[in-house]
Amino acid sequence: NQERQSSKPIFSVDIHPDGTKFATGGQGEDSGKVMIWNMAPVLREEDEKNENIPKMLCQMDNHLACVNCVRWSNNGLYLASGGDDKLVMVWRRAAFIGPSTVFGSSSKLANVEQWRCVTILRNHTGDVMDVAWSPHDMWLASCSVDNTIVIWNARKFPEMVTSLRGHTGLVKGLTWDPVGKYIASQADDHSLKVWRTVDWQMEANITKPFSECGGTTHVLRLSWSPDGQYLVSAHAMNNSGPTAQIVERDGWKTNMDFVGHRKAVTVVKFNPKIFKKKQKNGSSPKPSCPYCCCAVGSKDRSLSVWLTSLKRPLVVIHDLFDKSIMDISWTLTGLGMLVCSMDGTVAYLDFSLDELGDPLSEEEKNSIHQNIYGKSLAITSTEAQLSTTIIENPEMLKYQQERQNSAQANSGPGSAGPESSAPKLNSVMNGESLEDIRKNLLKKQVETRTADGRRRITPLCIDRSPSCLQGFLPGAVQQRSNLAFGLLHHRQGPGGQQGRVCSLLLTSASKIEPMKALDSRFTERSKATPGVIAAISSTAGLTPLDRPKDPIIPPKDTKTKEDTSSDSEDKMAVINKNLTFGKRKPDLLMDGGEVVEKKKKGRPRKDKMATTITQPFTQTIRVAAPPAPVAVLKLPTPSTQKAFSLQVSMEPSVFLEVENEVSLVAGSKLSQLRCSRDGRDWDTLLPSSVVTAAGSSDILAVACEDRMLSVFSSCGRRLLPAIQLGTPVSALHCSAHFVMALTAGATLSVWDVHKQKALVKNESLLTILTGADTTVSQSLLTQQGVPVIGLSNGKSYCFSSSLETWTLIADKGDSLVQCADFRSCLSTHDAPVSSGPLAVMQGRNLNAGRLASRLSSTPHHLQQSMTLAFLENQLASALTLQSATEYRYWLLIYARFLVNEGSEYRLRELCKELLGPVHKSAATAWEPTALGLRKRELLREVLPVIGENLRFQRLFTEYQDQLELLRNK
C-alpha cells in the first residue's frame, strides 16, 4: 500500500530499528522537511481507518532547503538528516510536552512526539547527499557535492574525525561494511572508492564498471551485504545497459552484476538479515548455504528484489511509481520494505518467510562475521589493526582500551581481547570452507557456455504473466519488449558472440531511451544555482592537479558558484590577488608625487601637528614638498579634549577622570587627574593638558601635550620621572606592570615599571610600515609586556625583545591560514583560546580551514604541507608573544596533526625537544620550561595523543619509559 506525503518529492525514507515508526525527508513548501510517521497505519488497515491512531508523529522544518537523506542511528536514539543547506542535523526525541502544532498549519497537524535538533554539523560547502551511521554508532559519515566525505565523531558531536578527499565529482552515496572496517562511497566521477577506517586512507578505487555512466542520477545509494562479502553499487553500465555492479570483498573483483533495469539504478539496499533455505516440515534439515537478499530501485520506476542464491530476481515490480525511486528501507525483521519516490509517495511491501527463507540468529550471524573478519574485529569495530598488532606496552593498552570501551559497550556477544589473532579468511563453517561457500553462493542456476567457452547464465524474463517465464536464449527475439532481468557473470567485451547476446539481453542499445539529462529536481534547482547543471552535464571538470597551477581563474568546478557566501568569495579574491602578483608590488607602483598627495588628503591635521612640535623650519617645508619619500609624522594622534573619563581595570575596578585646564597658575594651565580604585579616590595635577591615558590594575600612565609621559601607581604615587617622548603620542597601553607608548613619529617603546628598565627602546616601525597607505589599525600590549601592532594591510607584528626584531604573527591575507585544515585535530577538551593575543590579532579568519574545503581538489600532500606550515607558524607566534595558554593549545593540535598524518620524523623531533637531555652536562642549552610551562609536563599531555595511533607504539614506549626514569630519579 502507498502513503502519500505530498506532491513534493520524497528523497529519503528510513524505518526506525524498533519498527514502530519511519522517517522521510524531502522538499517542504519553503524549507526542507523531515517527517516522522507512525508505522501502524501502514501495516494494518484497521489502524489506518481508526481516527485515534495518528499517522504523522512529528514534522521538522529546520532545514533551510531540501532534505536528501534521513537515517536512524543503530540504537534508535538519534535521527540524522542531510540537506541542500549543506548541513547535517542530528535529532533526538525530547520529553513529552504535550502536542505542539506545526507553525502555520491547521490544528490537525499536531506533533504527537517532540523531536529536537541536538547538534548541527557544519563543514560541507555543498549539498549533503547521503549520511550513514557506522555499525556501533561510533561515527556518522556524510557526503556532499563538494566532493568530500566527512566522518564525525558520534560520541562527541560536533567533533570531526577526518575528511576523506579523493573523489573528483559529486559524492552521492555511502555505505559502511557490517563491522565498520571499511566505508565505501560512490560519486559522479565514475568511481566507487573503499576507505579503511584504521587510517582513513583509500583501500580500493573501482572505476571500470562505471566508465560509461552518465552523471544523471540524483543519488547513488550503494549497499554492503550483511555478511560483508559483497558491495553492490548503484548505477554501473555493461555494454551500454544500466546494471547494479557486484563488487566482491575478496580482491574487490567485479565479475558480476544485476542486469535488467531499463534506466540507471539509483538505490540498492541489502536486507539486514542473512537467510538460509526454508526447511520443509518433516524433512531432515540439510546444511544449506546462507545467502543475502537485496532490493534494487531505478529511474525506470521499477523495483527488483534478488537473493544471492538465485540467478534471477525473486520479484520485479514495474511502474510502482510515476517517477524515479529515491530510497529503500527494510524493517529489521527483514520482512517489510518501504520505498519512496520523486513523485511524493512511499510504498510498503511485505514478504513472507516462505519467499525469503529463514533468517539466521544473531549467534549464527556473529559466527559468520568472526569467520570472515576474525574475532576481535566483530567486537572492537574501530581499530582493525588490533587484530594483527600485539600491544606490548600497558600504558599504550590503556589508551587503546579507552578508545574501545565505548565501542565494546554496544557490541554483540563473542567478545575477545584485543590481542586476538589475525582474521582468518579461509576458516571452515559447517564443514565447508568459506571459499567454497563464496563460490557456491552464485551457482544455483542454469549455466550455458558461449561459442568461445565463456560461461553464460540463462536469465529469465519475468513478467507478471506466467506465460512469459520461458528461458530467454539468444534467438528468442520475440521477447524483446519485456526486459530480461538476470545476473550477468563476466563483463562482456565489445563485439563477438558475447556482445550480441548482451544486446539481446538488454534490448538493443538504441532502444534504451536516452536518460533525461536533468531530473525535474535539477531544473528546479538550476534557477537558484546555475552551477549545478554544469557539474552534472560534464563531470570531467578539472583534474585536481590543474588547479593550483593557475589559481587566478576560479576553478571550473561549480563549487565556487554554488557557495556564494560573500565571505568566502572575498577569501578567494584575496588568495587570487596574492597569487597574481607579489604581495608588495602595488606599493612599489605608487611611488613619487602622487603618494604624498594621498597622504595629505588622508590626514589634513598634519600641518597643525607640525606647528605644535618645535622642529626645525626646514623639516616642515620638507613635509609639504612633493618628492619627499619619508614624512616625519606617520601615525595619527588623539586630539585633546576638555575632559574625559575611562575605566582601566575591571578587577579591581579602577576609574580615571581627566579635566584639562582646570586653573591658571603663573601663566601655565594645570590639568587634574582623578582616580578612584574600589571606591578610594586620589587626584594629582599636571602642568600640561592630558591627551591620552591608560592603565592596568597596577599602574596608570598619562601622556600630555608637552610630550611628557607620567606613570603612577594605582594609589597615586609617581613611579617614574616624567619621560620625554620624541614626538606626540599616538597610542598608549598599560598591561600588568608594563607601559607601551607608540608615537606619531612611528616609534615604539616599552618599559617595565617594576624593574625601571626599557624592554623596547625607540624602535622604528618603518621596517613594517612599507607602502604608502599602510597605517597602524590596532595596537596592544600583552600581560607579558610584548607589544603587538596590527596594520591596515592585514598583517600583525610583535616586537620580540629577545630577538630584537619585528616578527610577523598574523596575516589576514595569508593563504596558509585559509587553507590549513586542522579541524580533525581540535579536541573537545581544549577550550578554544579566543582571548589570547594571537587569537585577538588573527581574529575571525582563524576558523580552521575556511577555504580548506573550497580547495578540496588540492592534492593531499599540498594540503598537508600548508596545514603543517600554518601550525608551526602558530607555535612560533605564540612563543614570541609569550602566550603560554595559546602555545599549549596549538602544541596539542600540532601533535594531533602529526599523529593523524603519520609524520613520525617531526613527532620524534617534538618529543625530543620536550624531553630534553636525560643526563645533565655543562654543554646543554636546553631550557626545562617554555613560557613557564614545564616541557616534560607538556610531553605527558602529548603522549596520550601518540598512544591513540598504533603506528607509533615504539615512539610512545620509548618516551613513556624516559619520563618514568626521570620521575624516579
pLDDT (tens digit per residue) in 51-81:
888 888 888 888 888 999 999 999 888 999 9
Confidence band of 582 (pLDDT split at 50, 70, 90) = very low
The dihedral formed by the CA atoms of 442, 443, 449 and 450, expressed in degrees to the nearest 10 = -10
Of the listed ranges 391-405, 470-484, 568-582, the least confidently predicted one is 470-484
Report the alpha-carbon angle 573-575-576, nearest 5.
Answer: 65
Cis peptide before 158 (omega within 30 of 0): yes
For residue 494, is pLDDT > 80?
no
- Parse the chain into domains and list their residue ranges: 643-765, 815-966
For residue 265, is pLDDT > 70?
yes
Of the listed ranges 133-147, 474-488, 580-594, 921-935, the least confidently predicted one is 580-594
For residue 911, is pLDDT > 60?
yes
In one letter, which amino acid is 563? D
Give residue for cell 494494518: 44
Confidence band of 584 (pLDDT split at 50, 70, 90) = very low
Instruction: Round to whole Å and give the CA distance between 246 and 328.
Output: 18
Environment class of 51 (CB within 10 Å of its CB; exposed 0-12, middle 13-18, buried 19+): exposed
Instruction: Round to whole Å and give the CA distance between 345 and 6.
Output: 7
Buried b (16+ CB within 10 A) or exposed e, 725-735: bebbbbbbbbb
| Higher pLDDT, residue 797 or 599 | 797
pTM as predicted: 0.45
Angle between helix 904-915 and 953-968 (nearest 10): 0
Give the pLDDT of residue 648: 87
Give the pLDDT of residue 692: 94
- In DSSP terms, 657 is beta-bridged to 645, 674
Q: What is the pLDDT of residues 462-473, one digit of tens each?
A: 333 333 333 333
Residues in the chain: 969
Report the alpha-carbon angle 563-569-574, nearest 5.
Answer: 150
Give the pLDDT of residue 1: 53
Q: What is the pLDDT of residues 739-766, one digit of tens each?
A: 999 999 999 999 999 999 999 999 999 8
Give residue for cell 573503499: 194
The dihedral formed by the CA atoms of 112, 118, 121 and 127, expressed in degrees to the nearest 10 = 10
Confidence band of 832 (pLDDT split at 50, 70, 90) = low
For residue 491, is pLDDT > 60?
no
Report the alpha-carbon angle 221-223-227, nearest 5.
Answer: 175
Reduce the DSSP state of residue 78 to 3 states and report it: strand
Give the pLDDT of residue 550: 40
In one letter, which amino acid is 537? S
Average pLDDT, rounded, for the chain:
75
Q: Which of the 8 DSSP states describes residue 831? A: P
Environment class of 657 (CB within 10 Å of its CB; exposed 0-12, middle 13-18, buried 19+): middle
Strand locations in 1-65 (E): 2-4, 10-15, 21-27, 32-38, 56-60
Give the pLDDT of residue 603: 46
Which of 733, 730, 762 shows the shortest CA–CA distance to 634?
A: 730
Helix or strand holding residue 40 (H, E): helix 40-43
| Higher pLDDT, residue 100 or 528 | 100
Q: What is the DSSP string of 286-334?
A: P----EEEEEEEETTS-EEEEETTSSS-SEEE---SSS-EEEEEE-TTS
**Average of per-residue pLDDT across 536-551:** 38
Share of the chain above pLDDT 70, in %: 68
The CA distances from residue 217 to 27, 129, 221, 222, 707, in Å, are 17, 12, 10, 13, 74
Give the pLDDT of residue 677: 86
Share of the chain above pLDDT 90, in %: 29
Confidence band of 520 (pLDDT split at 50, 70, 90) = very low
For residue 664, is pLDDT > 70?
yes
Phi, psi at 446, each rounded to 5°: -60, 135
Give the pLDDT of residue 480: 32
For residue 244, is pLDDT > 80?
yes
Q: What is the maximum alpha-carbon separation in the chain?
A: 126
- In DSSP terms, 619 is beta-bridged to none
CATH number for the segment(s) 643-765:
2.130.10.10
Give the pLDDT of residue 141: 95
| Higher pLDDT, residue 856 or 507 | 856
For residue 152, is pLDDT > 70?
yes
Confidence band of 179 (pLDDT split at 50, 70, 90) = confident
Give the pLDDT of residue 847: 53
| Higher pLDDT, residue 495 or 251 | 251
Give the pLDDT of residue 135: 87
Cis peptide before 359 (omega within 30 of 0): no
Confidence band of 632 (pLDDT split at 50, 70, 90) = low
For residue 259, is pLDDT > 50?
yes
For residue 270, is pLDDT > 70?
yes
Give residue for cell 547464465: 457
Give the pLDDT of residue 526: 34
In one letter, which amino acid is 811? D
**Average of per-residue pLDDT across 93-100:** 63
Answer yes or no: are the C-beta atoms of 37 and 379 closer than 8 Å.
no
Confidence band of 8 (pLDDT split at 50, 70, 90) = confident
Give the pLDDT of residue 209: 86
For residue 402, is pLDDT > 60?
yes
Q: What is the pLDDT of residues 676-720, one digit of tens each?
A: 888 788 899 999 999 999 999 889 999 999 999 999 998 889 999
Give the pLDDT of residue 290: 87
Give the pLDDT of residue 441: 47
Angle between helix 394-409 and 935-947 (nearest 10): 50
| Higher pLDDT, residue 460 or 450 | 450
Give the pLDDT of residue 703: 95
For residue 236, is pLDDT > 60?
yes
Confidence band of 148 (pLDDT split at 50, 70, 90) = very high
